[in-house]
Chains A and B, each alone.
Chain A
Amino acid sequence: MKLSWRNISIIAMVIAIACTLYFVMIMFSLDRAVSMSVSFNSGTSMIIDQPQGREADTAFGGIFQHSNIDMTMPAYQYVRIDDSIKQVVEYAKGLRDYETGDAWSFGKFGVKYSEAPAIHSSREAARSRVTDSAIERLSAIDNDLRLTSQQRKMKRDSVNLAINRILKKTDDSLRKVDENGTYYITLEGYSLNPPTEYYVSDGKYWLATVKWDSTTNRNNGAVQYGHYVRKPIGVKFRPKEKTILVPVSKASYRFWDVTMRYAMFVLIFIALYITIGLPIHIIISISRGDAFTPANIRRLTILAVYLFLSWIAGVLGPYIVRALLGDTIPAEFKQKHIVEAVLEDVFPLLAGVGLFLLSRAFKKGYKLQQEQALTI
């Protein structure tokens, strides 16, 4: 097939755009690295007052406490104290979570249910009773020499089935009576820029932000002086998962849980049909000799639109959600720069553009085919 100059220039333009986007992405990551080293080299430094001594144990949830070790102490005692302080600090910073419950997410959005501690205790007690009873019954089965191996296996399976049924019934009944559980909407992709810190204290969520008091210029650069101030926030944060948990009512949780489950099944079905079913249709029709048909043009266009829309939803969705939530998420929580997010996940966009161009080519092919058919 001979390519016209126009087609070649279109293909060249698409390749040029893709390469430009790739190099812009590299440039962004280089820019950040360079700017950090520039600030170091130029000598700008920060001195932030932190709580000291006994005040560090309680102020800001204790996130600034550290072990002041008596060096005459035996090593094993030192390690124990150091570990327990680390656990306290990690819990305060949200790096440890002792909550139990359910959580699931679809992409960057999810829901979470944390059960009340009393419910957790009841569940553990019920599990313990059921497990002890199960161990007794299974031991009796194992010790019964009259049984064949097959009979033993059948009896063990039926006991395990009964145990699972009882545990599920217990879980469901406890869930129904859990009036003090906490419900959240989860949003991934957030982080805090240092020196801002997140912590939990007295069951509430806080941010320790820096208030800058003064700046002093010296020969080798400027020095900024500041101190920490605390600010209450309405959302929970999990730094390891970079996830914000927005507390919601039980009704909201149920609404979003059900909506997301149905939406997930529908979207998975649509995605499977579009990404597998449509290409199969196209391949079958081409193998039959009917490449340039209105149906194939429509299928290619649908594929292109689907890829483009899924790219928009995946990349822009978190920013749209943040805009909708407004002040619920404090400004200190940062998301990735939108350009960086766009460039990181650019393949679906390029694939969508490529398929759209292909659908236009098929449309032209269909038109030429029609002309050919109606040429006497």
Chain B
Amino acid sequence: MPIVVNLDVMLAKRKMTLTELSDRMGITIANMSILKSGKAKAIRFSTLEEICRILECQPGDILEYMDQGSYAKLMMR
């Protein structure tokens, strides 16, 4: 899917683990893993708002659009 979730990049910048983020957000680690791995089909605005509040970033820092070719290259890596 051409929308890429760069959650791990922001977590690294804020020196936070996925477990900490999921604890602070009240979402299970399984769902956070789904989001981080790019398998999620949709994200609620409320969830995106909470992530941006905790990681002190903008939605554009978390979500990035890629064209199909670049996305395929990324997945192959």
Residues of A within 8 A of B (CB): 370-371, 374-376
Contact = CB atoms under 8 A, between A and B. Distances in A.
**Majority secondary structure, A binding face:** mixed
A374 B44 CA distance: 11
Contacts of B47: 376
Contacts of B27: 376
Interface in B16-43: 27, 31-32, 34-35, 39-43
Contacts of B34: 374, 376
11 contacts: A370-B41, A371-B41, A374-B34, A374-B40, A374-B42, A375-B40, A375-B41, A375-B43, A375-B44, A376-B42, A376-B44
Contacts of A376: 27, 31-32, 34-35, 40, 42-44, 47
A304 B44 CA distance: 38
A374 B27 CA distance: 13
A91 B31 CA distance: 83
B27, B42, B47 interface centre (most CB from chain A within 10 Å): B42
B62 to A, nearest CB: 12
A371 B44 CA distance: 12
Contacts of B40: 374-376
A370 B31 CA distance: 13
A172 B32 CA distance: 77
A328 B32 CA distance: 74
A250 to B, nearest CB: 67
- Shortest 7 CB-CB contacts between residues of A and residues of B: A374-B41, A375-B42, A376-B35, A371-B41, A376-B43, A376-B40, A376-B31
Given A371-B42, A375-B42, A376-B47, 7 more contacts: A370-B41, A371-B41, A374-B41, A375-B40, A375-B41, A376-B42, A376-B43
Interface in B39-76: 39-44, 47
Contacts of B44: 375-376
A371 B39 CA distance: 11
A371 B1 CA distance: 14
A370 B41 CA distance: 9
A376 B40 CA distance: 7
B59 to A, nearest CB: 14
Contacts of B39: 374
A285 B50 CA distance: 37
B18 to A, nearest CB: 13
A374 B1 CA distance: 13
Nearest to B39: A374
A42 to B, nearest CB: 72
B39 to A, nearest CB: 7
A376 B42 CA distance: 6
